[in-house]
Each structure stands twice: as C-alpha cells, then as structure tokens.
Chain A
Amino acid sequence: MSRFKIPQIAPSEITPEYIWTSRRKWLQRVGAAMGAGVLSSLPLQAWGREGISYGQRNPEFGADEKLTPEEDVTTYNNFYEFGTGKEDPARYGGDMRLQPWKVKVDGEVLRPQEFDLDDLLKLAALEERVYRMRCVEGWSMVIPWNGYPLSALLKAVEPTGNAKYVEFITDMQPDAMPGLRSRIIDWPYLEGLRLDEAMNPLTLLVFGVYGKALPVANGAPVRVAIPWKYGFKSGKSIVHIRLTEKQPETSWVRIAPHEYGFYANVNPDVPHPRWSQATERRIGSGGLFAPRLPTQMFNGYGEQVASLYSGMDLSRYY
C-alpha cells in the first residue's frame, strides 16, 4: 500500500525497529519477572525453537514451480487483525502472545477437547507440502507449508452424524492487534468449510512454513491451508474449531456476500465484481516484466477436489 514518504530524519538517526522492540520486550520481561517474582517460563515468543522437526518434504505434494522467496511469503500478508496493509502483519505482529496456546475443538463431536499446542503437534507426523496459494485479489505464491492433514485432528474428536460443517475461529488479542480497533470485520474472524472439504487430504493443519515455526504474519502458531480455495478461506492463528450442522456465517460472506462466497473455490471463469479472476500475478517471480499467469480451475487441484462439487453450479456457489 503506498504511503507518502517525506524524508525528514536521516535514516542513520532512526533506531532500527528490532532494537526498540527488543528493548521494549526486555523491559516488559524484566517488569513481569520482578512483578511475579519468578523467572520460570521465559521463552515467550520462541515456541518454535524447542527442537521440533517440521518434517520432510512429501514428494506427492511438490508443486513443480519455483518457490516464492521466504521473505515475500512472510512479509506480504493479509491479516486484518494487524491492519489492512500487506506489511502490517509483519510490522505489528511482534507483541502477539503465542504461549500458552490452546485450541478448543467442540460442537458436533463425540469427544470435545482442548488441545495444548504441544499435544496438537504430536497428534500426527508433520510433513512439508508445497502448495500454490491464490489470493482472491489476483496474486499468488508457491509456499512450502509444514503440517499434517486436518482430518487427523477431526478424527481424534470423532464428528457425530450431525456434523456437516467445520468453523474456524481466530484469536483476538486487543492489546497486541491494532487492526481489531477497526470495524472492517465483526471480530473474531470466522471461516468455515463443509466437513467433506475439511476431511479432504489436501486440507492441511499448518504449524510451520519454510521448515520453521509459522511467523505471526502467516498465522502463528497454527492455521489451515486449503490450496484449491482463495487464501482468505484459510483461517490464521486458530483458537477454536467448531463442528456444526448448519453452514457457518463466515466473515467475508457477512461483509460482502456479492463479492465473496462461502465456497470461494479458485475459479478463473467466475470474476470478482471488481476484477477478472482469469489470470494471476505470481509474487517474487521474474521482476516487473513477468507476464501474468493463467489461473487454473481449483488452482490446479481439480483432480483431488472436483468430485466434491459434482452437480453444483459453481457460478452460483462461488
């Protein structure tokens, strides 16, 4: 997002952000430690540095395209809890608390549970999968995610016969998320899938990217990735997963139902009211003169998912 930059202070005079944030954090930690009189669990943000292996690349899910550079994947994000600018999540995400982290799974299940992040990480073997990610805004990336199929978690809670949909509810930390002050979205951010979509082997519960713990901007510490749908369907920083009988009313459907549907399958034939979806710009590939790429039906995952929608009018259920 363009902002006007009028250089008034020499760049050399500006304290680098990492110094003042680290100073601030250090002060906060000292303050907290003195206040509580304990020096126990200090590695607050460092949930990824505990010797977790994020798994080997699964060759079955290796898109043959060049990976989007890690820097672009982690600094160009939509995560409105931190602001609507693409750089906002990386810029303002530093104060988010990631520990302790619990994910509640309930609703139409036989065994509702609250999972610690550690339990969640142990539930199934982590692997790396390279997925294309297509944003509804017309850009795309190729991202190596680390995680395991969401179906492993859903099976653990045993959905009842009534369960037809899965709803994802995202965390809210008002003191750490400046975007929550804006009323663009009726917080918290809600997304959802049909149960069979959620059980599809492609739907990934994600803990890492590029072999490392997810940064806040990418939805730390746990998110989903649904590669045949537009990116906004993938809830970030998930704290609650609810299985329901009725189709959940998701955030974007609430805001602009004529622009964003519940299904949001990548579909070059159904334009957004304000732009075509026929082509996409691949981030981080080939500089200013790289041509746009043709968008593929279901983002190229039709073989795995087209059967989910047989008989449905996808221009009506977009």
Chain B
Amino acid sequence: MISVLMFFACLYPFFLWVGLGLTGGLTANPPEYLIRSSGEWALVALCVVLLATPLSRYARISVLLKHRRMLGLFAYFYSILHLLGWAFWEQGFGLEAMWLDVVTRWFITVGVVAFVLLTPLALTSTYGWMRRLGRNWKRLHYGIYPAIALSIWHFWLVRAGKNDFFEVWIYLAVVFLLCLPRIIQLRHHK
C-alpha cells in the first residue's frame, strides 16, 4: 500500500507537467521548460535517495530506505526524460549533432557522464544482480556520489550563462548536508 502511494508521489512531476500542459502553464517555450524541469526533478530525486539513510538512522523513519530502489529508478527515469528532451527538442535526434554537442560542449559532456554513471546503477537494481555482485554491488552503487556531483556541476554550467547560481547553491548545500553524516561516519571507522 505504501509502495503504491510512494509510486504515485514519485510521479508528481509528471502529473504536474500534464496539469500545466492542460492549463497552458508550461510558459511560452514548453520544450525549454520541460527540459529544465525534468533535469531539476532528476536532481531532486537523487537528493531524496541520499536522504534515505540519514532519515532512517537519525529520525528512525525508514519509509525512504525501504523504497530506495524505486526512488533511485525514478531519479533515472527523470534523467532519461531530461536526456530525451535535449535529444529531441534541441537536436531533433540527429546523431551527428548530438555527438558534436557531447564532445565540444563541456556542460553537455558533464551531464552525459553523470547519466552514464547512473546507468549501471539502474541496470543492477534487481535482487538477482545484488546477489551476483555481492560486496561489489555496494561499491558499484557508490557511483551515485560522483553522479550527483557531476549533476550539480552540469547545473552550475547551465546557470553560468546568467550568473544566476542561487538554486545551484541550494542544491549544493542540501547535498553537502546529506553527505555530512556519511563523512563523519567514515572518519569514525578509521
């Protein structure tokens, strides 16, 4: 029951877009809005994934931890939408133009690398892969840390055009806060 609720909660951005689309709320430039919005929601979902552990450890709320796989897959889902939005609305699915963008534009490169890092995590999210990989599964899934760092860097590079970093700083602060208990714990273990 809770997992069903969780599933629909994770679809909130999707419903939001449909609602905005039906009421003309996607601005005068809907493709741009949807590309940006999907990217930001992917980042939000990654932050929620990072929240799962500290929330269960310090507040003893385990709902996120129990459904962390679903949250992670939704983060990947919104990343895919973000990537598809760019590929379709910016590049018209032209492979050559896409490749050119990836190799010549730093901020696209950084975003694509973040996406590539998340891909094996999504693919190995099943119990079968957990069993097969054993201890290495956890090691592999530490990939979320570089992926989220690159996502924020990507966001920073996008905003560099307008020197408008307010939201970027907020995400950076949130991610730092979420990583703080992990860093402290790492030092304890030494």
Contact = CB atoms under 8 A, between A and B. Distances in A.
Interface of A: 1-2, 4-5, 71-72, 75-76, 84, 86-87, 139, 182, 184, 255-256, 259, 273-276, 279, 281, 283-284, 287-288, 291-292
Interface residues of B, number: 26
The main secondary structure of chain B at its interface with chain A is helix
A274 B31 contact: no
24 contacts: A2-B33, A2-B36, A5-B16, A72-B28, A84-B164, A86-B27, A87-B27, A139-B29, A182-B164, A184-B164, A256-B161, A259-B161, A273-B105, A274-B105, A274-B161, A275-B105, A276-B100, A276-B101, A279-B92, A281-B89, A288-B30, A288-B31, A292-B89, A292-B92
Contacts of A276: 97, 100-101
Interface of B: 16, 27-33, 36-37, 40, 44, 89-90, 92, 97, 100-101, 105-107, 157, 161-164
Q: Which 5 A-B pairs have the closest CB atoms?
A: A76-B28, A2-B37, A72-B28, A184-B163, A84-B162
B36 A86 contact: no
A290 to B, nearest CB: 9
A147 B121 CA distance: 59
A184 B159 CA distance: 12
Contacts, number: 57
Given A5-B16, A87-B27, A274-B107, A291 B164 contact: no
Given A139-B32, A275-B101, A292-B92, 12 more contacts: A2-B36, A2-B37, A4-B40, A71-B28, A75-B28, A76-B29, A86-B27, A86-B29, A274-B157, A276-B100, A284-B28, A288-B30
A72 B27 CA distance: 8
Contacts of B100: 276
A283 B107 CA distance: 25
A80 to B, nearest CB: 8
Contacts of B31: 281, 288
Contacts of A273: 105
Nearest to B36: A2
A184 B44 CA distance: 26
A5 B28 CA distance: 18
